[in-house]
Chain A
Amino acid sequence: MTQLPEHTERSLGLVIDLDTCVGCHACVVACKGWNTETHGAPLSDTDPYGAAPEGTFLNRIHSFEVQPEAGPAQLVHFPKSCLHCEDAPCVTVCPTGASFKRAEDGIVLVNEDDCMGCGLCAWACPYGAREMDAAAGVMKKCTLCVDRIYNTNLPEEDREPACVRTCPAGARHFGDLSDPASDVSRLVAERGGMDLMPEQGTKPVNKYLPPRPRDSWPEEQSDTLAPFLAPVTEEAGGFLGWLDRALEQLPGGRA
């Protein structure tokens, strides 16, 4: 059913800390691993050992350079997956009813048995969060590990998305963003959590925590090691000095 629910009981989602992410891609591997082994079509690779390997991924890490007006640039690692938008354009465009948003927890899913592989939902998503699997011909996207978070066969500590479970830096947090008292909501409030492309009107559930401000960077202290590395002498002495001076005497030697 591609009509969006008017209200979701909970809004499960991720809070991603751009200050903490080290860009190690561990979450990418964990996501690919879990979602290939469990329900639905596996996330296929094409030409994996050839000249142009490609594959389906539900989570990818970009790295951006942010250049302020003054001072050095900052590198920000930027994980991106489905934001489980409240106003999900990918859902309403779907002609078959394969795409839907759950009223109970707000997770946006694809029912692969109904998908005809038209790709319209991937066009509608501004974030590039949906990828058509080349082998299966059906649309794949982040499920928020719906088969982990409610899975009573797993130990309690594993009942969270694979990416969150695996992140060695603790940069990914999972919880109910509709509950102002939840850990994730408090993080968002404290750290100024933000939406990606708010102008697209999708009302993403996932939030991103901006990098914390860096220390100030006055020009004269720009490098603490520089004084120790400064050359101790400008003039070369000994044999090299003699050679240097002798060469300079030759025609064209002095610039």
Chain B
Amino acid sequence: MHPAPSVILFSTLSGLGLGLMFWLGLGLPAVTGWSAFGLYFIAYALAVGGLMLSAFHLANPKNAPKAFSQWRTSWLSREAWAAVIALLAVAVHAIGVIFFDTRLAVIGAIGSALALLTVLTTSMIYTQIRAVPRWNQVTTPILFLTLSLAGGALLAGQVTAAAMLLPLAGIAQLVHWHIGDARARGPDSTPESATGLGGKGRVRLFEPPHTGSNYLLHEMVYRIGRKHALRLRVFAIVLMVVAPALLLIVPFSPLILALAALSHLAGVLASRWLFFAEAEHVVGLYYGQR
């Protein structure tokens, strides 16, 4: 799949922002006034900024408001609803702690739950696509959720929680790669099943339908950079999990925490790039890919 920068940035930044909102909604840390304002500002900048970036992925953004209409069947529509309701609930809680020095614990907890729900809906947009075997597996939502929780804990300064969640996210990432590789190699869909000609012999593309490229090839048969995949995987897991976890062992200081958060962010970006660039769509079978 084509690793579109707008989608990679959107899911990474909003995942991080929503993760931070999760911890803030629980009152962790129990900040008020200006320090609360600072943290909520970061959370909203990440979450709303990310959501706005996703609009760059639309070819016809004027119809974007209609995306709220099909929540009965569409995960993308559910994501739109979950995001708006989560941002509103968290805002009510934020106004309480920033301006009135009061914490509305119930609304805060609801906001936390909705923030996580939003991350879940984002992950389900990818998980549901059966035509991309690497995504269509149970660890996709687990990966998105653990990354969001771990990254949020880092930003919220929840050192103990982050120290526990980072390795969990790392394991989720390794399992996701492992199952993904197996599913991508799996015998599910093949050129033989795609053409129905398997009973007659081995099927090979003889002549593509056109000499140039097309939308399908740009969007779904992305191949550039896969040869660096292994190196990027190492890079991603080190920056995303190993380095921040080690930094947390060092005696706590805001600078160290910021460093850990930045390293984590760079790692998640690399991981998300791979999430798209490595994902094979079965339509490639019609274009000579096995």
Complex Cα distance, B283 from A190, in Å, reads 29
Q: Mark A50-84, 1 if CB is under 8 A from B, else 0.
A: 00111111001111111111000111101010000
Taking A2-B74, A62-B205, A66-B202 as contacts, is the C-beta distance between A95 and B216 under 8 angstroms? no
Taking A52-B213, A127-B283 as contacts, is the C-beta distance between A122 and B220 under 8 angstroms? yes
Please give, as numbers and ranges, the residues of chain B lying within 8 Å of A67 by CB-CB distance.
Answer: 201-204
B283 touches A116 (CB 8 A): no
B70 touches A132 (CB 8 A): no
Complex Cα distance, B220 from A132, in Å, reads 12
Please give, as numbers and ranges, the residues of chain B lying within 8 Å of A80 by CB-CB distance.
Answer: 209, 286
Please give, as numbers and ranges, the residues of chain B lying within 8 Å of A60 by CB-CB distance.
Answer: 209-210
Stretch at the interface among B149-157, B185-193, B262-270: B185-193
Stretch at the interface among B32-40, B56-64, B230-238: B56-64
- How many residue pairs link A and B with beta carbons under 8 A? The number is 198
The range of chain B's interface size is 35 or more
Q: Is B45 an interface residue (CB 8 A)?
A: no
Q: Is A161 an interface residue (CB 8 A)?
A: no
Main secondary structure of the interface of B (DSSP, over half): mixed
Q: Is B196 an interface residue (CB 8 A)?
A: yes
A126 touches B283 (CB 8 A): yes
* Complex partner residue of A76 from B195, B199, B209, CB under 8 angstroms: B195
* Complex partner residue of B60 from A62, A97, A116, A194, CB under 8 angstroms: A116
* Complex partner residue of A123 from B189, B193, B281, CB under 8 angstroms: B281
Q: Is B225 an interface residue (CB 8 A)?
A: no
* A238 shortest CB reach to chain B, Å: 45
Q: Which of B262-289 contact A (CB under 8 A)?
A: 281-283, 286-287
Stretch at the interface among A151-159, A165-173, A178-186, A198-206: A198-206
* B250 shortest CB reach to chain A, Å: 43
* B23 shortest CB reach to chain A, Å: 29
Complex Cα distance, B220 from A64, in Å, reads 20
* Complex partner residue of B200 from A52, A68, A95, CB under 8 angstroms: A68
A66 touches B203 (CB 8 A): yes
Q: Is B181 an interface residue (CB 8 A)?
A: no
Please give, as numbers and ranges, the residues of chain B lying within 8 Å of A93 by CB-CB distance.
Answer: 73-76, 125, 128-129
Closest 10 CB pairs of A and B: A117-B59, A137-B59, A117-B60, A128-B283, A68-B201, A60-B209, A116-B63, A95-B77, A95-B76, A96-B66
